[in-house]
Amino acid sequence: MGEDRTIEEKRSAASRLVTRMLHGYFAISRGMTLGVRAACYDDAGRIFLVRHSYVPGWHMPGGGVERRETVLQALSKELREEGNLEMTGPAQLFHVYFNTRVSRRDHVLFYRVNVLQTAPRRPDLEIVESGFFALHDLPRGVTPATQRRLRELSGEVPPDDLW
């Protein structure tokens, strides 16, 4: 058990370093960083979550908005890349968050979307695990931010302005 905690602490420290380096690059190449993330629901009402290789925990899919890319183009691209997901209706903007945990210039547009998975998402170097989960049976390790977003979406708590 103690050995697992040490590995997880090292992975967490390494993931924080990689994240800071990426955002350092983004700070030079962009005036502000902007990301998209979505709560993706299938026809059964299950939510799609991903587990990345470079950060611990289960997250909703998403990523950065690139230059010359609209937020909806970025959202569609991230859903396709991270889950083989296609939106079956319009993306509904839920809230805009200021993500101070990553940098003092990062904002996340958070959407709610209904999706269809075109093919199972096979693990690779970025996404090591993914799947649809019933809201009452989420996998162990769902991040606190993901849990907060789900409570906000359900109306349990009001949306916070900070990610």
Q: Is residue 67 part of a domain?
A: yes
Q: Is residue 113 part of a domain?
A: yes
Kindly give the residue spans of alpha helices, DSSP state H, lying in 2-158. 2-29, 71-83, 144-154
Residue 10's pLDDT is 58
State yes or no: pLDDT of 6 exceeds 80: no
Residue the block writes with tokens 């502000």: 32
State yes or no: pLDDT of 45 exceeds 90: yes
Q: Is residue 5 part of a domain?
A: no
Residue 8's pLDDT is 55
Tokens (6 digits) for 101: 């945990």
In angstroms, the Cα distances linking 146 to 81, 89, 151, 153 are 19, 22, 9, 11
Question: Residues of the chain with pLDDT > 70: what percent?
Answer: 88
Q: What is the pTM of this model?
A: 0.81
Tokens (6 digits) for 29: 């190449």
The DSSP secondary-structure symbol of 142 reads B
Question: CA 86, CA 84: separation in Å to the nearest integer?
Answer: 7
Q: Is residue 117 part of a domain?
A: yes
Q: Is residue 142 part of a domain?
A: yes
Q: Is residue 24 part of a domain?
A: no
The DSSP secondary-structure symbol of 159 reads P
Residue 145's pLDDT is 95
Q: Is residue 105 part of a domain?
A: yes
Q: Is residue 16 part of a domain?
A: no
In angstroms, the Cα distances linking 47 to 68, 94, 125 are 30, 15, 22
For the chain, how many structural domains are there in total?
1
Residue 26's pLDDT is 62
Range in 11-25, 55-69, 100-114, 144-158 with the lowest mean pLDDT: 11-25
CATH number at residue 81: 3.90.79.10
Confidence band, pLDDT 50/70/90 cuts, at residue 104: confident
Domain limits at 125? 32-154
